[in-house]
């Protein structure tokens, strides 16, 4: 396992705005639309995930490296997108935040791709060795995670039942770690957000005078999602639902005020994620 001592960078503090009022033609978008795709946050630029060809976990450490309060962030790139607010919380609350991340690899215990599956097993062992008192889990539930059973490719919808079972297994395995069992339930799920049916930065650029055009329905494609089903089966409720901060009761938006929410169809900009620090901190509960 590679261990990286990451140092969080100071970023502009932005106020979370409600709605999309006052945004329109001539808006100075933050981040600018032409660089929004690269607004991935500290964990991406600190190299906190292995390359696709590697199976060894890469662990980054944020917050107080000498703290006896270790919090582990586990999952794929949809877990990594929560790095910016979690780093701030680690600094404020004195956590030792450690990361176990792999892009495009479901944390659910399923047969997916060989390198992913091997990484997952190694990561579980390393997580155990780090003795976290608390674990935060997040995963994409989108179309990418289609499985193959007995040589037969399944559709994404056909894969859902297996992913639900695999996610339940993963959460059970993590919840039984000795460092968590002794301290009571300390496992928290951040649910996946909804994938936009277009590229929000591109849509905002094409409709500079009407950002509300770039909204989309608040509806998860595959029901509650295997992440939420696993958490429900394991009694790990309430889960944290980002739709509270991304959507109203009907629509999800590409921007709030002049802050761009999505850097692509299914990842938050680091800039917007940072504005959710207090919101996330209230819901984590530790």
Per-residue pLDDT of 95-126, as tens digits, reads: 999 999 999 999 999 999 999 999 999 999 99
Quote the pLDDT of residue 38: 97
Specify which residues 140 forms β-bridges with: none
Pairing of β 187-189 and β 255-256? unpaired
Domain range for 120: 2-284
The mean pLDDT of 35-62, rounded to a whole number, is 96
Quote the pLDDT of residue 222: 82
The two tokens of residue 192 are 């996946």
CATH code of the domain in which 265 resides: 3.40.50.1110
Q: Look at residue 19 and tell me whether its pLDDT is greater than 80.
A: no
Per-residue pLDDT of 269-278, as tens digits, reads: 999 999 999 9
In total, how many domains does the chain have? 1
Check residue 134 and report its DSSP letter: E
Contact by Cβ (8 Å): 203, 213:
yes
| pTM for this predicted structure | 0.91
The mean pLDDT of 115-139, rounded to a whole number, is 97
Phi, psi of 272, rounded to the nearest 5 degrees: -70, -40
**Who wins on pLDDT, 73 or 209?**
73
Q: Residue 284: how many CB atoms within 10 A of its CB? A: 16
3-state secondary structure of 90: helix
Helix pair angle (277-284, 83-93), 10° resolution: 70
Specify which residues 251 forms β-bridges with: 217
- By residue count, the chain amounts to 286
């Amino acid at each position: 396992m590679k261990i990286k001592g990451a140092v969080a960078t100071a970023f502009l503090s932005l106020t979370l705005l409600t709605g999309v009022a006052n945004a329109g033609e001539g808006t100075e978008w933050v981040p600018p639309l032409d660089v929004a795709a690269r607004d991935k946050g500290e964990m991406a630029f600190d190299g906190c995930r292995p390359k696709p060809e590697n199976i060894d976990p890469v662990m980054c450490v944020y917050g107080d490296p000498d703290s006896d309060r270790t919090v582990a962030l586990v999952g794929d790139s949809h877990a990594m997108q929560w790095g910016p607010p979690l780093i701030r919380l680690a600094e404020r609350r004195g956590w030792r935040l450690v990361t176990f991340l792999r892009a495009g690899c479901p944390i659910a215990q399923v047969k997916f791709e060989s390198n992913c599956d091997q990484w997952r097993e190694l990561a579980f062992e390393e997580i155990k060795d780090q003795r976290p008192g608390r674990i935060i889990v997040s995963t994409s539930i989108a179309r990418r995670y289609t499985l193959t059973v007995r040589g037969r490719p399944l559709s994404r919808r056909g894969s859902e039942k297996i992913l639900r079972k695999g996610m339940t297994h993963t959460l059970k395995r993590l919840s039984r770690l000795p460092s968590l069992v002794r301290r009571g339930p300390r496992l928290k799920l951040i649910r996946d957000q909804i994938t936009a049916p277009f590229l929000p930065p591109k849509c905002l650029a094409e409709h500079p005078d009407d950002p509300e055009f770039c909204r989309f329905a608040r509806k998860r494609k595959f029901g509650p999602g295997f992440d939420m089903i696993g958490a429900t089966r394991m009694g790990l409720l309430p889960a944290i639902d980002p739709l509270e901060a991304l959507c109203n009761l009907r629509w999800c938006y590409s921007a709030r005020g002049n802050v761009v929410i999505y850097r692509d169809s299914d990842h938050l900009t680091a800039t917007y994620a940072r504005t959710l620090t207090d919101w996330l901190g209230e819901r984590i509960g530790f």
